[in-house]
Structure 1
């Protein structure tokens, strides 16, 4: 008998065969559509987040953009300040975002955040012209506030839609959207900046893409399976029963703040997330400058080659996800071993690769690009590592846990570019960049070591916290299509 089955005609055939079984091997269902929409959400979010990393090169270098477009005299410290300002707002809404997503549903929260961010992105060229770098910083802070809800909302959506069997794979697919958005934006920004459209179009194109996504999300997404208007009864029963939802009732639990903050496995997760963000965002925000200043690449090659490492990361996400599924399906390794193995691949291989990168000179373009591709590409393994560990530890509080760790981790995203701005007082000096790479390697090493030794994958006792509210998830009108099994 299917777990929690009520033997009614909605969820069973006449011989009591659960129709939820039909959805188990489904190639593309509504749950997959939600993950596709989340993939697109992260694509546009990262496009709007990283567009400035390449655009700022064109905005401050007359040789990198078309005549007729304004060029600004911003020094390296000012540029680092601008690049880091996004995260000042981003960290503020992480924890509230997790709480709001669990309390009111992730659909509306994500829609509001990315819609407003899209409008702000469209305004950046005008703000730079009117108010200079100070107004650009202000807009980027507001963008960060809007995007701070993205990861908590995505984690909450995944915890409601992905069954335990599909969780690792679907999570990896969703979060690969961040690499796809990075690849598209970094790969096209240089060409756009040097085209007749000029650097302002970098912001216009990404802002319009975000607006188009918002329309699709409003029409096709739902916070939970019970709230989706076109889901089949079979798929709904399969998802809700797999997740342990009984009689269409969603239980909302008190957040066990003290237990979370005193949990050592959660502390290890927080530290490894911080280590990851330091390395990842240093590479993402500073590599265009490094390749332009040290390797002497023009803006077109700079943008395209800066995108290659993230293309490798996007592709390797699917390879690592398939390998993890194969190992788990055949019971070759435990869940704990899988998380730690792939996290080690994602942190310690880049750690080793970054060390020789500091000794590359401008005559060794190919070697530098290869090392960057390898370093960044391997980090995708962390999507099957620490990135899903929030749901392992406490699926009932996944959004809140992601909000906490992402908040702390993005403090590193603020500090890292500022640290580069302090260390690299002469951006053409390879020795100064060498110090940056050595520091990144050390942080990767100690963060992952802590996760290997002390990280856990078992649900923690505080996952089952007291219920403060139970609601009928079908309180709002829902039209369920029963795929040929109507009453």
Structure 2
């Protein structure tokens, strides 16, 4: 009877409603966060190359070691606040923590040119560290919000759309910042753009965003019922528990094999993404001899393909699941395999490119980055699969470890790449990345799960409990 009630509510749920508006805002919020995060990848090239930037602004002669400190400093702070940020999102809701995460970081972005002028790379490094601290709650906040807003049957599509903001923000940052760098605004304009964009988003999110359907005053009652009912259909047994525990089951989470497998998959994926995001502009300049304009256009093209392929992958996943060709578990592993194993060969081949093979290198990058979009329907949704109630906390723990991985990845590039024009050094970096992709996905295939774990505790929504009691 409960399933019939849910199906009845599905007919009343609008095809486009409040849940989609929330997801669009989350998409733009994540885009804003990544515009701030990625801006240094372009700005540092402009800041250190007078031939590619406005001569009215100072040129800095930083060593490769200093560059690696600057590029990694964001992640020093980022990993520290992951778990505290996830706890705050779990306790106070994702709206306020996401708002503070993006807007506080935006204010620091606006102060970046002044910090470089006053304290050179050391104060610059400290400011990027603080930006990392503020953005530590971004992903846990989003996962907490999606666990409340995304109906089970739409979870993969809505989550994937929201996390496409990573690629959109990276694309916008690279394209717009390359133009700003050679404009009269110079490299300081890169940081002003990211800060202003984020503050405009913050105002919109403050006015329209909501922690959950129950707090959204302008959505229809039909859509609210649809969302709340579908989120508990797989947890009727837990509705019978009079006092469901709300404390975080830390020990059970940290001893959960499916969660540790998810951690490995996420860490290896983030390693590759950071290597590509921060290293490719340097690779384009050193190995392929591209100037800042062509460098940025080539570096941003893979992210455009990633956005396009995200929707292709969503369509494929929906087709397979709705036709019953694959279970959710099989679908997660299949798509994660596409996202991690397909890029292995293109990434390794990048280490064998010559300066006259820029078109081939671009094609390899498009394949490597574009196909990774499938991971959004693989491991990145798996936190909510394992524990809808603690999804934000699971992601906070995972992002704490990936923050360390991101820090190590950027330092590794700085340690190995002592000469940007040495292709053999780049080859080592790409072999390490390909090997980590292969290993991480292998474990996910063998031991990954999508079943809700026993330590998950589902809070009863008033609507779902009324339905349950009426059926009794």
Q: TM class by shorter-chain length?
A: over 0.9
State the match for 2:334 in structure 1.
341
- How big is the shift at 1:21? 3.5
- How big is the shift at 1:27? 2.1
Instruction: For residues 49-80 of structure 1, give each alpha carbon's deviation from its aligned partner in whole angstroms, at most 9, with x where no partner exists.
Output: 00000100000111110111111111111111
State the match for 1:13 in structure 2.
none
- Greater percentage in helix: 2
> Secondary structure in 2 aligned to 1:380?
helix
> Secondary structure in 2 aligned to 1:69?
coil
Aligned partners of 1:251 and 1:2: how far apart in 2? 21
The structure 1 residue matched to 2:43, chosen from 45, 49, 55, is 55
Q: How does 1:420-459 map to 2 (within 5 A)?
A: 420-459=413-452
- How big is the shift at 1:429? 0.6
Aligned partners of 2:179 and 2:200: how far apart in 1? 23
State the match for 2:466 in structure 1.
none
- How big is the shift at 1:23? 3.9
Are 1:165 and 2:158 matched, yes or no? no
- How big is the shift at 1:20? 3.4
Aligned partners of 2:3 and 2:424: how far apart in 1? 62
Are 1:390 and 2:406 matched, yes or no? no
Aligned partners of 1:68 and 1:355: how far apart in 2? 40
Aligned partners of 1:23 and 1:450: how far apart in 2? 41
Aligned partners of 1:210 and 1:293: how far apart in 2? 32
The structure 1 residue matched to 2:9, chosen from 20, 23, 31, is 20
- How big is the shift at 1:99? 1.4
Aligned partners of 1:315 and 1:45: how far apart in 2? 21
Aligned partners of 1:21 and 1:394: how far apart in 2? 24
Aligned partners of 2:287 and 2:176: how far apart in 1? 22
Instruction: For residues 449-478 of structure 1, give each alpha carbon's deviation from its aligned partner in whole angstroms, at most 9, with x where no partner exists.
Output: 11111111111111138x7xx8989xxxxx
The TM-score with structure 2 as length reference comes to: 0.93
Instruction: For residues 352-380 of structure 1, give each alpha carbon's deviation from its aligned partner in whole angstroms, at most 9, with x where no partner exists.
Output: 11121111010111011110111011111
CA gap of 1:72–1:343, structure 2 versus 1, over 3 A, is same
Aligned partners of 2:34 and 2:4: how far apart in 1? 40
Q: How does 1:73-472 map to 2 (within 5 A)?
A: 73-244=61-232, 253-464=246-457
- How big is the shift at 1:119? 0.5
Contact 1:161–1:239 (Cα < 8 Å) also in 2: yes
- Structure 1's consecutive aligned runs of 4 or more residues displaced over 6 angstroms after TM superposition are 249-252, 470-473
State the match for 1:33 in structure 2.
21
Contact 1:20–1:236 (Cα < 8 Å) also in 2: no
Aligned partners of 2:115 and 2:351: how far apart in 1? 36
Instruction: For residues 201-247 of structure 1, give each alpha carbon's deviation from its aligned partner in whole angstroms, at most 9, with x where no partner exists.
Output: 1110110000000000000011010111111111111111111298x
Contact 1:4–1:241 (Cα < 8 Å) also in 2: no
In structure 1, stretches of 5+ residues that fail to align are 6-16, 474-487
> Secondary structure in 2 aligned to 1:460?
coil
In structure 2, stretches of 5+ residues that fail to align are 234-238, 464-472
State the match for 1:9 in structure 2.
none
> Secondary structure in 1 aligned to 2:60?
coil
RMSD: 2.0
Aligned partners of 1:267 and 1:18: how far apart in 2? 35
Aligned partners of 1:313 and 1:200: how far apart in 2? 28
- How big is the shift at 1:164? 0.1
Contact 1:250–1:471 (Cα < 8 Å) also in 2: no
- How big is the shift at 1:92? 1.1
CA gap of 1:262–1:129, structure 2 versus 1, over 3 A, is same
